[in-house]
Structure 1
Amino acid sequence: MKQTHNLILGGMLLSGACGIAAAQTGNSNVSIYGIVDVAVTRVDHLPGGAKTYMRSGPKDGNRIGFQGSEDLGGGTKAIFKLEAGLNTDDGTAGQAGSLFNRAAFIGLTNNKLGTLTMGRQYSSYFDALNALGPVPIVTGSAGDHPGDIDGFDITIRHNNSIKYTSPTMHGFTGSAMVASGEQAGHTGSGGSAAASVKFDGSQWHHALGYQLLKNGPNQLNWDATTAGSFSKSPVNAGYLSARDIQFLAAGTRYQMGAVSLGGSVSNVQYTPNATSVFRDKAIFNTGALLAQWQTSTPWLLGAGYTYTQANRANGITDGARYRQFALQQAYWFTKRTSVYFLEAVQRASGQTLAANGRTVIDADAVIGTSQAGLVGDGAHQTMFSIGLRHSF
């Protein structure tokens, strides 16, 4: 029933936008864009020692996309986006079995009514908070919050989603999204929802967002048929049998000429039910501070500090803590091309649950999301990257 209501609402919004469009179509345009980004990366304190390897997209993420619009008249346009991730080091797809894994949606936008899109896309939560998180300041593998535990990076995308974004009024923009798991016989299972409000002024930028991910019927290790994907790492490995995950976050940034300062706070809760392996709600609170300086030269400098604290539950007497400090130095030859350096150091302490959801273990360091497959063999880990990035 809930899914039917969502479809009816989407149809009403689409009909409203079409109703004010002129019958005669206008101009249309399609553009191709992308980012090619690759780096040599070194990570230490691994079970087999340090590792040096070629990393694809540690700064901005490799992609190629197609987007376009057609003027329908009356201030209304039809829009679409198709965006695929790729690995520069070996030419493979960014996600096996998926072509346009980053985005695949179509919609309508109107100056007075706002924008309605449908397909695979980022949530309202991400749209509002990503710009105030570590990615634009200290990007990717160096600056991500541990395991991207609060979804500030690009790891959470939603299939079968409908998203509405309001017009901007006096600097404020609101947005809401719903998505369905679409598994027969399990109405409402595996769905997701999000909402956000943000303010963009000449110097101040603020955002508040909420996001809910529901697990599917095959719950023991997070059902693969759910609408929303997310980052899985040693930070949350013991809690993947949760009934649902709730995200609540706020971010801010102040621009002072060539310098910007900002920060964010987030609360993420993994809620169990009778099917879950773990028994108590797992809560992760994260605070972050960011700074960026565009020097009078082509050098852009960034720094970020993140602190993540997990609660004491599920037999854990000393909740896991992750302290991470990251730096970025990027030399921009042009607006499209740069050479960059990324550095990060993390210290983990306390306890967490192992992947089986039962065994209490010491928390190991794991920097960001790009290093999720390279888990530290203890409480410390450092990372260094030197790379080249070009956009088109």
Structure 2
Amino acid sequence: MKTFGEISMKKSLLALAALAAISGAAQAQSNVTIYGIVDMALQHQNTGEKAGATLGLDSGIQSGSRLGFKGTEDLGGGLKANFQLEMGVNADTGSSAQGGLAFGRQAWVGLSGDFGSLNLGRQYTPAFIAIDSFDPFGTGMTTGTAGSGTSSFGAAHFFGGPSRVNNAINYNTVSIDGFTGNLFYGVGEVAGNTSGNRYIGLSGAYNAGPVFATLAYTSAQNATGTNAKKSILLAGTYDFGVAKAHAAYSTIKDDGVPTPIDRRVWLLGATVPVSAAGTIVADYIRSTVKNVGDANANHLALGYTYSLSKRTNLYTSISRTANDANSALGSDDSGATFHPVTPGANVRLVNVGIRHKF
């Protein structure tokens, strides 16, 4: 005859076994990850303003500070449901980035499987993903706005186009021998005008061994559908082991009013590991405008990153943009405070920062 203690112990073991089974099944079906980045830097910038240079302690200089949630659910037969919600954070003030949006960086849900993936919501454009892939600075550390959180934009400031689009339908193929493709459509949601605010993006990429190459096309309309901005981007990198070479070329045509713009942009860059923890990065960008006189610009940047661990690193960079009389590049306006560039000014930016990923 079993004692009361033996019966109680058996019931407890059965309860624990049932709970473990339920928990294991739930984890096998669905997985949610909380992640983020906190990035802070001391920046000094001179944009040619009459007010003079600005010294700021800013957030998101190498990588935008963020808090995100992403997850996947196994639906069986190789089909999965996926989502991602990512908010930008100005760590210098504690406020929300991207104009105060709750999840201004990304907000989408979709399905993936042997066919690739199809996602719906606010997402990165194919062109921005391409720029982030070839920019030695990873669309950060240069062309920022000192005094404004989440202010760096790197090479994306010169190659143009929005980094994210609302109401987007985004299809990505699976990788076939290193080749992938991306079809992106942003629904404009303008009543009675299907082309108003419409965004179309196409890209293809090859990534195998030391070679990465990408080709991206963009067509973006204004709210009335009468002002198109189109671009074609060809870029790539080659890893020699001792250093990685970066190169890009883009044509950008904007039917802007009152002055249309026909721009060409080139980039040459390098990533050079100098130790197990330290890396030097550098790039040169040339922007020329064919249909406007004295509207060219040259950009030169040099940076260094040092890893303290797998998740924490220090960084510093110095950059200079030299503008012709009718050019005003070199300072991004995505921050809370826009520091305008005086046409013809030489824009200089120096920063020293720390980035932690979790």
Category of TM-score, reference length = shorter chain: 0.7 to 0.9
Q: Is the 8 A contact 1:302 1:329 kept in 2?
A: yes
Determine if the alignment matches structure 1 residue 373 to structure 2 residue 338: yes
Deviation at 1:300, TM superposition (A): 1.5
Deviation at 1:71, TM superposition (A): 1.0
Deviation at 1:125, TM superposition (A): 2.7
Matches within 5 A, 1:141-180: 141=143, 144=153, 148-151=157-160, 155-180=162-187
Q: Which has the larger radius of gyration?
A: 2
Give the TM-score normalised by the residue count of structure 2.
Answer: 0.84
Structure 2 distance, partners of 1:254, 1:38, is: 30
Cα deviations by residue, 1:59-111 (Å, 9 ceiling, x for unpaired): 1111111001011111111111001111011011102341111110011111x
Residue 34 of structure 1 corresponds to which residue in structure 2?
36
Determine if the alignment matches structure 1 residue 344 to structure 2 residue 315: no
Structure 1 distance, partners of 2:131, 2:56, is: 31
Residue 246 of structure 2 corresponds to which residue in structure 1?
262
Determine if the alignment matches structure 1 residue 385 to structure 2 residue 351: yes
State the SS of the aligned residue for 2:306.
strand
Cα deviations by residue, 1:119-168 (Å, 9 ceiling, x for unpaired): 1101223333421124428645368567714248xx42111111111111
Residue 232 of structure 1 corresponds to which residue in structure 2?
none
| Matching residue's letter, 2:249 | V
State the SS of the aligned residue for 1:33.
strand
Deviation at 1:327, TM superposition (A): 1.1
My pick for the range that moved more, 65-74 or 199-208, is 65-74
Cα deviations by residue, 1:217-249 (Å, 9 ceiling, x for unpaired): 3x8xxxxxxxxxxxxxxxxxxxxxx71111210
Determine if the alignment matches structure 1 residue 294 to structure 2 residue 260: no
| Seq. identity, % | 29
State the SS of the aligned residue for 2:127.
helix
Change (3 A) 1:107 1:137: closer
Structure 1 distance, partners of 2:329, 2:209, is: 38
State the SS of the aligned residue for 2:97.
coil
Matches within 5 A, 1:77-156: 77-110=80-113, 112-136=114-138, 139-141=141-143, 144=153, 148-151=157-160, 155-156=162-163
| Stretches of 4+ aligned residues off by more than 4 angstroms | 142-147, 368-372
Deviation at 1:382, TM superposition (A): 1.2
Pick from 224, 229, 245: which aligns with 1:245? 229
Q: Which runs of no fewer than 5 residues in structure 1 stay unpaired? A: 1-23, 220-241, 352-362
State the SS of the aligned residue for 1:199.
strand
State the SS of the aligned residue for 1:168.
coil
Q: Is the 8 A contact 1:199 1:206 kept in 2?
A: yes
Change (3 A) 1:178 1:349: same
How many residues are treated as equivalent by the alignment?
A: 323
Matches within 5 A, 1:226-245: 243-245=227-229
Q: Which runs of no fewer than 5 residues in structure 2 stay unpaired? A: 1-25, 145-151
Residue 8 of structure 2 corresponds to which residue in structure 1?
none
Give the TM-score normalised by the residue count of structure 1.
Answer: 0.77
Change (3 A) 1:295 1:134: closer
